[in-house]
Structure 1
Amino acid sequence: MSASQAFPSVTQLTKLQIDAVERWHREPIDNPFSGSETSIEALVCQQHEFNYRLWHEEDTARSPSATDQEIAQVKRAIDKLNQARNDMIEKVDDAITAMIASAGVDAKDAPINTETSGSAIDRLSIMALRLYHYREQADREGIDAEQRQKVLDRIALCEQQHADLSKSLQQQLDDIFAGRRQHRTYRQMKMYNDPSLNPAIYGSK
């Protein structure tokens, strides 16, 4: 089996994300791939989980009834989750790099995309969350016809964007594993969470 055949299709990955969002809203979060933490599916699921947690922390941060102390706590939680989310994007990209290397794919002279496959998978994760919550709003009691139509219009747009991005990512992955396009991991190198690089942290000592 080639590396491209071993890598799950984008359709499989987006189904994993969509199913996970629905399941996590019904029951406690679990990772169905806990026995294979290095698989692409496991990494995508773990990265998706951080986006799920981030989404709900962001909602809490905007509550009019939240106290200053609660907002400060949420802000710190958001920082940690966002760092973990970005770390997982890099892990997904690193896993793709490893699969390409093990397959002996040579693409050193091929063009490079501005966005990595891991970053595109992250965007699809956020889109799965957005679609779930828009559909939730469309079904909410008490919503008037004008607001419901506004939500339905946005759902249609999100579905189109999700389909476009899914197709583009599949084409990119096909090209990467065929050697027609280079794949690289672009390091986020966030400075704000590094005590040695954030002046607001090291300057307070």
Structure 2
Amino acid sequence: MPNALSFPAIAELTQLQIDTVDLWHREPIENPYEGIKSLVCQQHEFNYRLWHEEDKARSPSATDQEIATVKRAIDGFNQARNDMIEKVDDALTIILCDAGVSAAGGPINTETPGSAIDRLSIMSLRLYHYREQADRADADESHRAKVNERIALCEQQHTDLSTSLQQLLDDIFAGRKQHRTYRQMKMYNDPTLNPSIYDAKK
């Protein structure tokens, strides 16, 4: 099982995400964790920062210069977020190798654990902000009803994904499924691959 091999239960990781979203809205961002939890928290932080930068970009009062600045910040946070997905998956690979777990020839999942943890991070942010909307003093009943329906749907999706991810990890650690890190290979931030960047230097 994952716990015996230094990989936390998914319930622990989702609680970390839920707790830090709430805490970071009240206190400075900190990462007091170690091991996989530290990587998950770091990846979660990039999603947190990305979420709030995207809010700024959609403000009707934002100037063109402000939007340009925010867009560059979004690109940076998105790249960092994707890098952390790979780091979580790489850490899982090391744990499996150290434990001698192999599933050569076994089936491969369409999504890696790192990617699913990233989706759960975004879901925790979505739930937090939907609950903010439900608690708005100026919201009418129709607004609250719509928001509460979406909260219920998000909660179900969060439960479904976290349960499926735990089952995937159980299969991986039991040798029933293979684990691989899929490289994101983003091109837009690479000055040697994005023509808008390297052409500008000519």
Is TM > 0.5 for Structure 1 vs Structure 2? yes
Q: Assess if the C-alpha contact under 8 Å between 1:3 and 1:103 holds in 2.
A: no
Of 65, 70, 73 in structure 2, the residue corresponding to residue 74 of structure 1 is 70
Of 117, 127, 150 in structure 2, the residue corresponding to residue 154 of structure 1 is 150
SS of aligned partner of 1:26: coil
Structure 1 match to 2:163: 167
* Deviation for aligned residue 1:4: 4.6
SS of aligned partner of 1:203: helix
Structure 1 match to 2:42: 46
Letter in 2 for 1:26: R
Structure 2 match to 1:84: 80
Structure 1 match to 2:174: 178
Q: Assess if the C-alpha contact under 8 Å between 1:4 and 1:177 holds in 2.
A: no
Structure 1 match to 2:197: 201
Q: Deviations over 1:130-172 (max 9, x none)?
A: 0000000000011011111000000000000000000000000
Structure 2 match to 1:14: 14
Partner Cα distance (1:134, 1:4) in 2 = 32
Aligned length: 200
Partner Cα distance (2:166, 2:7) in 1 = 11
TM-score under structure 2 normalisation? 0.97
Letter in 2 for 1:96: L
1:111-122 equivalences under 5 Å are 111-122=107-118
Structure 2 match to 1:187: 183
Partner Cα distance (2:9, 2:102) in 1 = 21
Change (3 A) 1:4 1:108: farther
Partner Cα distance (1:31, 1:116) in 2 = 23
Unaligned runs of at least 5 residues, structure 2: none
Letter in 2 for 1:139: D
Percentage identity across paired residues of the two chains: 74
* Deviation for aligned residue 1:32: 1.1
Partner Cα distance (2:106, 2:79) in 1 = 31
Q: Does 1:59 align with 2:61?
A: no
SS of aligned partner of 1:32: coil
Unaligned runs of at least 5 residues, structure 1: none
Structure 1 match to 2:97: 101
TM-score under structure 1 normalisation? 0.96
Q: Assess if the C-alpha contact under 8 Å between 1:3 and 1:100 holds in 2.
A: no
Q: Assess if the C-alpha contact under 8 Å between 1:4 and 1:174 holds in 2.
A: no
